[in-house]
Chain A
């Protein structure tokens, strides 16, 4: 994926917020993790696989329903974040006892090695590195994709289903990294280029590069691994407590359980916040956050917000300074610039959630 296409970052960013931006995210790490031996009991197979993988992550995989996608975190023994990832449970009854994982590009080797090492011979990790993955994001993404793959609009946020396109099976999820409604599409290298080109034939679609992907996710308040998240950062500090499932917490079988329990009881020593920079230059990653001249934290992501027309940033500060409207400073080139804490996201999410139970779920009722 290029940094940007010829039209430039601002145009690409605004196009995605107004129409539909198309991103090539084939660099992401995708794999199907499946039980080495499956039984005739699909539900039992799912539970067995969930129980194998759960010790590595902080989410509830057992309750994952067919066609559901969940945001989760791989943790280390001290409760730090090794990676953030998406985990999906296939819809096909014949594919139960398998989960698909989408992890970050920079961490995929370590992640899949960790899974293979921890789970040993009980599972097979079937990587799909040569596969194409693209994201279609924006308010016009649904009508555009519906025209090519009828039925995709019925998916709700964080649901996925297989579709046929030119006699090839492709996987479409309603998810993304921009805060907009949209889809992520996983498909074989045989059809990826033609699918990409077919999408671009629609005048509502334009290609969008890595730089706008970053400014869009920043406005959406979504953390980026290696910047806002890392092996020292706990889910509680990162404001991702929602990903630490209650059952897992209560059972105490989480990696880094002692730290997470302590942070939940007493509050963490630092927490991720959003900052509006009220004057001066964009505060970028590494800029010091100060209060009355005293350093209190560090910016982990920052830049110019095309939607708001001002610089915005995310960073970590003590909880006592994390309330919205708290006045702080960001230090850019030795100059303290006024900033204030604001709630995340900076730009409201526009995810499409369906409240009714879709047909997909009706086919696979909860046990």
Chain B
């Protein structure tokens, strides 16, 4: 599993890249009430908006961690967005992408790198 500075994770499963938000992001967002993901077939450059998560507090955009084409949204999480808060790195995944170049995933932070990022954010506060 790899991580972005926007607190998303991405994991290759077969040919598809699964995308979600991290435990840290889910805890920061609070109760999640709505998920919207771009339609399957949408081409996204790295950093394009993949979708939107709304918590009780606010709306937050989800960015494509790598370039690719939307293959599938997690319809269970769309029907019951509380799944995202309960298991953000498991059942509460957001979408599957067909990567343009799956080696882009390797360029992202690994778990240690992401933990170091969280530590530095914690140190700032």
> Which residues of A line the B interface, CB within 8 A?
3-4, 8-11, 13, 211, 215, 280-282, 284, 303-304, 306, 311, 333
Interface readout for B18-62 with A: 1 if CB under 8 Å, 0 if not?
Answer: 000000000000110110100000000000000010111101000
Nearest CB of chain B from residue A338's CB, rounded to whole Å: 15
Query: How many residues on B have C-beta within 8 angstroms of the other chain's C-beta atoms?
Result: 11
* A8-B30, A281-B36, A282-B33 known, 17 other contacts, Cβ within 8 Å: A4-B30, A8-B31, A9-B30, A9-B56, A10-B31, A11-B31, A211-B30, A211-B57, A215-B56, A280-B34, A281-B52, A281-B59, A284-B59, A303-B56, A304-B34, A304-B56, A311-B34
Once the chains bind, are A9 and B57 in contact (CB under 8 Å)?
Answer: yes
How far is it, in angstroms, between the C-alpha of A303 and the C-alpha of B57 when the chains are bound? 8
Measured CB to CB, the residues of B under 8 A from A are: 30-31, 33-34, 36, 52, 54-57, 59
Q: Give Cα distance in the complex from A319 to B55, angstroms.
A: 32
Interface of B is mostly: strand
Residues of A within 8 A of B34 (CB): 280-282, 304, 311
CB distance from B23 to the nearest CB of A (A): 15
- The distance from the CB of A1 to the nearest CB of chain B, in whole angstroms, is 14
Q: How far is the CA of A284 from the CA of B30 in the complex (A)?
A: 17
Whether the Cβ atoms of A281 and B54 lie closer than 8 Å is: yes
Question: Quick one: which of B33, B36, B52 contacts A304, CB cutoff 8 A?
Answer: B33
Q: Distance in Å from the Cβ of A213 to the closest Cβ of chain B?
A: 12
A211 CB, nearest partner CB in chain B, Å:
6
B36 and A9 contact, CB distance less than 8 A:
no
Chain B residue at smallest Cβ distance from A284: B59
The chain B residue with its CB closest to the CB of A309 is B33
Q: Do A10 and B54 contact each other (CB < 8 Å), given the known contacts A280-B36, A282-B34?
A: no
CB distance from B88 to the nearest CB of A (A): 14
The 29 sampled A-B contact pairs (Cβ below 8 Å) are: A3-B57, A8-B30, A8-B31, A9-B30, A9-B55, A9-B56, A10-B56, A13-B56, A211-B30, A211-B56, A211-B57, A215-B56, A280-B34, A280-B36, A281-B59, A282-B33, A282-B34, A282-B54, A282-B59, A284-B59, A303-B56, A304-B33, A304-B34, A304-B54, A304-B56, A306-B56, A311-B33, A311-B34, A333-B52
Number of A-B contacts (CB under 8 A): 38
Instruction: Please give the distance in Å from B113's CB to the nearest CB on chain A.
Output: 28
* Residues of the A chain whose Cβ atoms lie less than 8 Å from the Cβ of B56: 9-10, 13, 211, 215, 303-304, 306
Which of B31, B33, B55, B56: most chain A CB closer than 10 A? B56
Q: How far is the CB of A108 from chain B (nearest CB, A)?
A: 25
Nearest first, the 4 closest Cβ-Cβ pairs linking A and B are A304-B33, A10-B31, A9-B56, A281-B34
Chain B residues positioned under 8 Å from A215 (CB to CB): 56
A69 to chain B, nearest CB (A): 30
How far, in angstroms, from A141 to B55 measured CA to CA in the complex? 28
For A304, the chain B residues whose CB sits under 8 A away are: 33-34, 54, 56
Kindly provide the distance from the CB of B93 to the nearest chain A CB, expressed in whole angstroms. Answer: 19
> Chain A residue with minimal CB distance to B82?
A10
Chain A min CB distance to B118 (Å): 19
A263 to B61, CA, bound (A): 42
- CB-nearest residue of chain A to B55: A9
- Complex Cα distance, B55 from A8, in Å, reads 11
Complex contacts, A4 vs chain B, CB 8 Å:
30
Bound-state Cα–Cα, A10 to B55, Å: 10
A11 partner residues in chain B, CB cutoff 8 A: 31
Cα–Cα distance between A9 and B31 once the two chains are bound (Å): 7
Measured CA separation A184–B33 after assembly (Å)? 30
Q: Which residues of A contact B55 (CB under 8 A)?
A: 9
Shortest distance between the CB of A286 and any CB in chain B (Å): 12
State the Cβ distance, B121 to closest chain A Cβ, in Å.
Answer: 18
CA of A333 to CA of B55 in the docked complex: distance in angstroms?
16
Q: How far is the CA of A27 from the CA of B15 in the complex (A)?
A: 55
- Which chain A residue shows the least CB distance to B56? A9
Q: Which A residues lie within 8 Å of B52 (CB)?
A: 281, 333
Contacts of A303 in B (CB 8 A): 56
List of B residues within 8 angstroms of A306 by Cβ: 56
List the B side residues contacting A280 at CB < 8 Å: 34, 36
